[in-house]
Amino acid sequence: MMTRSFKMAVVGLTIGLLFGNHHLLADSSQGLLAYYPLNGNGTDASGNGHDGFVAGATPAADRFGRSDKALLFDGTNSFISVPDSPDLKLSSTDFTITAWIFETERDASFNDCIISKRGPTAAGLGISGGGQLGWFLSVRGLQKAGQTGRLFYQASGAQDPHAFSTSVLSLNQWHHAAVVYHRASASMDIFIDGAWDASTNHIPPPNPSITNDMHIGNDSQLVYGNAYVFHGRINDVRIYDRALAPPAVAELYGAGLFLNGTQFTGRALTRMYGGLTVGQTVIVESSPDLVHWTPIQTNIVDRTTLSVTNFINPAVNAEFFRISVP
């Protein structure tokens, strides 16, 4: 059924949709130091000129299935190098780092590095035996079984203070990873797929002496013969010089035209969508298993943003929904 506008409500056992002219919970460009859509290249879309040089990473489909809108890192020697800049040191500010990742294999060593800016050996930052300058964000590899698959932030090497996620990130699935640093309290919050996961105290700010380039997809220190290389796809890397609030992190997770395979176990969940064009046709679909999709309704939007509220049928263990563009 085609409606004149996307101001409708579907009432049924499994889903209800409410649409309107909603404003974003937070300005996603405020405090944005660098933004890498990784649309087949290393261009910084923030306008701040932190463009990266792509070495070996190849164009791949993003989480929406769009060709050449992400980059594939081969787990051997592919990465992106971004020249050193004072604002990327993150040494004197709150900060937030987010990325969409699709990991296909766990590194045999300690880390599958997502993004890093650290370098040569120096005095430890808080615990004896520390060693590196800068900062480091990764998924833990196979070296320590109890840590494998957990999101990991460190300032910035060896025995220096670090933070782990509680959740284990599954392979062969897109995940939104975010770390939020609060300088005043020396604490870090970790978010997985838009939801708060863990907090860690006693995390010092990055050392301002770091002069190494920032790398996406491997460890900028190039340790152990460049062992810490990411295996899989990376998309939409963002770095902020502020601590994003939980609703803003959730909004980044929900941004786009596809509700990325979220399993709803509560009675309702609302997500915001932006980037729509007035007059654009979209399709609402549902699925019991993320494989078989059934169109619910085809509509023309009359707003550039909308919210979707999913009401869950208590009699059903899980339902999945997405909004797609034909």
Out of 244, 268, 288, a domain closes at 244
Residue 249 within a domain: no
Same domain, 272 and 227: no
Same domain, 182 and 39: yes
Same domain, 239 and 279: no
Residue 75 within a domain: yes
Distance CA 275, CA 28 (A): 12
Same domain, 141 and 214: yes
Sorting pLDDT into bands at 50, 70 and 90, what band is 127? very low
Q: Of the given ranges (117-121, 231-235, 312-316, 322-326), which has the lowest mean pLDDT?
A: 312-316
Mean pLDDT over 293-303 rounds to: 79
**Predicted pLDDT of residue 305:** 66
Same domain, 212 and 153: yes
Between these two residues, 84 and 18, which has the higher pLDDT value?
84
Find how far residue 250's CA is from the centre of its chain: 10
Asked whether residue 20 carries a pLDDT value surpassing 60, the answer given is no
Same domain, 200 and 67: yes
SS3 251: helix
Same domain, 117 and 233: yes
Residue 240 within a domain: yes
State which residues form the domain around 18: 2-24+255-324
**Predicted pLDDT of residue 6:** 33
**Predicted pLDDT of residue 21:** 26
**Predicted pLDDT of residue 17:** 35
Distance CA 284, CA 293 (A): 10
Cβ burial of 125 (10 Å; 0-12, 13-18, 19+) is buried
Same domain, 166 and 264: no
Query: What residues contact residue 205 under an 8 Å CB cut-off, 6+ apart?
Result: 90, 91, 92, 155, 181, 183, 186
Same domain, 135 and 52: yes
Give, as one character, the DSSP assignment of residue 25.
Answer: S
Same domain, 214 and 263: no
Mean pLDDT over 162-187 rounds to: 94
Q: Of the given ranges (65-69, 83-87, 240-244, 267-271), which has the lowest mean pLDDT?
A: 267-271
Kind and range of the H or E run holding 253: helix 246-254
Out of 216, 244, 272, a domain closes at 244
pLDDT, one tens digit per residue, over 199-232 is 999 999 998 888 889 999 988 877 556 668 899 9
Phi, psi of 223 (to 5 degrees): -75, 155
Distance CA 138, CA 113 (A): 4
Q: What is the CATH number of the domain that holds 167?
A: 2.60.120.200
Name the pTM for this structure.
Answer: 0.72
Out of 220, 244, 268, a domain closes at 244
Same domain, 199 and 269: no
Dihedral sign for Cα 240, 184, 176, 250, please. Answer: negative
Mean pLDDT over 178-182 rounds to: 97
Q: How many CB atoms lie within 10 A of CB 3?
A: 12
> Looking at 83-213, which runs of residues are DSSP E strands?
95-103, 111-121, 132-140, 150-154, 162-168, 174-182, 187-192, 195-200
**Predicted pLDDT of residue 311:** 52
Strand partners, 309: 270
**Predicted pLDDT of residue 26:** 39
Mean pLDDT over 261-280 rounds to: 57
Pull the structure tokens for residue 296. Answer: 């619910």
Residue 36 within a domain: yes
Residue 140 within a domain: yes
**Predicted pLDDT of residue 230:** 94
**Predicted pLDDT of residue 287:** 64
Residue 222 within a domain: yes
Pull the structure tokens for residue 236. Answer: 């939409």
Q: How many domains does the chain have?
A: 2
CA distances to 148, 152, 227, 233 from 168, rounded to whole Å, are 7, 11, 21, 18
Distance CA 129, CA 183 (A): 23
Residue 250 within a domain: no
Same domain, 234 and 267: no
* 156 cis-preceded (ω within 30 degrees of 0): yes
Angle value at C-alpha 174, between 160 and 275, nearest 5 degrees: 110
